[in-house]
Each structure stands twice: as structure tokens, then as C-alpha cells.
Structure 1
Amino acid sequence: MKIEPIEIRDKLGRTIVLRNAIPDDANDLIRYLEVISAETPYLIREPDEITITHEQEVSFINNCLASNKSLMLIATLNGKYIGNCSLSPIGNYKRYSHRCEVAIALYQEFCGYGIGKSMLENVLEVAKGLGFEQAELEVISDNRNAIALYEKLGFKKYGSFPDNMKYANGEYASADWMMKKL
């Protein structure tokens, strides 16, 4: 889906532009996945598993733009890509039509400045406007900063997935399932 760009101010007073991802952003999105998967243990892929092609990313972006229920929102600072927040239906079945999934990630250097909170607030507002009744997400159980943000926005934990991920070093991480009524 397409939305009008939104300007916000972060905690440092910087102007952040939230806008749709467009095909020209494909390389930035791929590079972002490569960098952030190495920066944090909280994403589902190891850095060497980022194998998406430019064409695949362009196709994904175009599908989001053409959809009436999916959104890929990116954040930029002075035109530089710094993170994204997505919204997508849980499934295409009527019985799931009230549910959507949200996901967010920023380059680590931009975390803690209110950017993620603003992105999520805007995406949740869009979700509600589309008729979704609940937003869901999955978060690694020891990602305390993310969980604190989600709770601040009204998400509640409803379950856990023990040993949800197994890292390359053999360690496991559990995940929490969180949901917010819209």
C-alpha cells in the first residue's frame, strides 16, 4: 500500500522521514539486512544467509506497494536509509483477516532515539485503519529494549517458544509471542 511521507523528530531533534519503500531502495534494504544481521542476534538469519537478489527485493517492494493490506515503511535521515517497519496480514483466509503481523528493525546506531516507537505507532494506526483488530509480533525473549518498547505501545506477551532459534555457536534463544488489540 502507498502512504504519504511522514516527518517526525527524534529525541535529538533530527528530522526523520517515514515513507514507502520504493524499488530504488532495494540495494539499501539488502545492505541493511547484511549489516543488521551481524549487528544483533535478534534477527532470524545469520549474516551468510542474506542471499536475496536485487530483483527479488524489487519484486517484494512492488508487491507491498500494490497490496491493499501490506506496508513496508522505511525511515531516512538526510536521505540515508536507517531502518524499516513492516505490516502484513497473517494469512489470506477470512478467519485470519482480523490479524496482522508487524516487524521493525533499525541500524543499532539509531536505536533509543524514539524512531522505532514513531514508526510502530504509525504502522499500528495504518493497521487499525485497514480494519485489522490485532497486531502480532515475535521477539527474542532476552531483547529487553524491544520488549519494553512493545509493552509501552500496549503489546502483551501471550506465549513463549522455547529454543526458537539456534545460533551458529550452538546456543539457543527463546522467543515471546506478543499481541496488541487495535
Structure 2
Amino acid sequence: MKFGPIEIKDKSNRTIVLRNATPEDAEDLITYLKVTTAETPYLIREPEEVIMTQEQETAFINNCLNSDRSLMLIATLDGKHIGNCSFNPVGNYKRYRHRCEVAIALYQEFCGYGIGKIMMETVLKAAKEIGFEQAELEVISDNQNAITLYEKLGFQKYGTFPDNMKYADGHYASADWMMKKL
């Protein structure tokens, strides 16, 4: 789906640009995935599992750009990629057409400035405008900062997946399933 670009201000009054990811962003997005998976235990991959090629990432970006039901939004500050937020259909079946999954991540140094909230609000508005009726996400149960944000945006918890992830050191983390009517 085509979007933006738009400019927003974060809590520090910095100008953040929200725009579609483009094929030219593929290498930056792969680096971003490697860094963010190492920065936080709340994402689903280990850093060494980020193995997609630039060609694969470019194909994914092009699929999002050419889809009328998917959006991959990136945030930049002074031209530098600082985070992204997306939505995708839950499935291709008619009975699932009303549902989308949302995801967001920022480099840790940009958390706490309101950027994630604005990105989520932007993505949720776009999802509603194209006809999705509910947005869903999965969040690690002890990721209180993210849960607080999602609740402020109107998401509610509807269930928990015990031992949803198993970390390299052998410990487990549960995940909450949250949903918001659009």
C-alpha cells in the first residue's frame, strides 16, 4: 500500500518522517533487524536468525508496496532509519478479511519519545480506512512498556500463550494476545 510521506514531531520536537519502505531501504532494514533483535528480548528472532538476503527483503518490500492490504511504514530522523511499523492481513480467507496483525519496533535509543505511539496511531488509522475492523498483536507478557502503549491505544488482552518463546539460555517467556476494534 502506498503511504505518505508525512512529517511528525516527537517529544523532543525532532522532525520524524513516516513513509513507505522502498527497495532502496532493504539493506538498512536487514541491519535494523539484526541490531534490534540483539537490543531486546521481546522480538521473535535471535540476531543470528536474521538471514534474509537483500533480494528477499526487496521482494518483501515490493509485495507491501503493491498490496492494497499491507503497509510497511518506516520512521526516519535526518534520513536515518530509526524504526518501523506495519500491518498485514491475518489470512487470505474471506472469514479473516476483517482482521490485521500489527507490529512495531524501534531502535532502543529512540524509545520513549512518542514515536512508536504516533507510528501505531498512523498504521491503525490506515488499516481502518482500507476496511480492517480489528487489529491484533502479540506481545511478550513482561514487556510492560509496550503493553502500556497498546492499552493507551485501546488494545485489550484476550489471552496468554504460556512459554511462547524459549531463549538460548533455556528460560521461557509467555506472550499476550491483544486486540483492538478499529
1:4 CA drift (Å): 1.8
Gaps of 5+ in 2: none
In structure 1, what residue type is equivalent to 2:25? D
Question: For residues 90 and 128 of structure 1, what CA distance do their matches in structure 2 show?
Answer: 14
Structure 1 match to 2:160: 160
State the Cα distance separating 1:5 from its structure 2 match: 0.6
CA deviation string 1:39-78 (max 9, x = no partner):
0000000111110100000000000000000000000000
Cα shift at 1:138: 0.1
| Correspondence for 1:113 | 113
Structure 1's consecutive aligned runs of 4 or more residues displaced over 3 angstroms after TM superposition are: none
TM value normalised by structure 2: 1.00
Paired with 1:121 and 1:36, the residues of 2 have a C-alpha distance of 21
Q: Which runs of 5+ in 1 are unaligned?
A: none
CA distance in 1, matches of 2:160, 2:147: 13
CA–CA distance in 1 between the matches of 2:25 and 2:127?
23
1:129 and 2:123 correspond: no
Matches of 1:4 and 1:20 in 2, distance apart?
Answer: 7
Please, what TM-score do these two structures have when normalized by structure 1? 1.00
Where 1:58 maps in the other structure, the secondary structure is helix
Provide the rounded CA distance (Å) in 1 between the counterparts of 2:110 and 2:59: 27
The C-alpha deviation readout for 1:75-112, integer Å capped at 9, x for no partner, is: 00000000000110000000000000000000000000
Deviation at 1:3, TM superposition (A): 1.0
How far apart, CA to CA, are the structure 1 residues paired with 2:6 and 2:144?
Answer: 28
> Distance in 1 between the 2:32 and 2:60 partners?
15
1:92 maps onto 2:88 in alignment? no
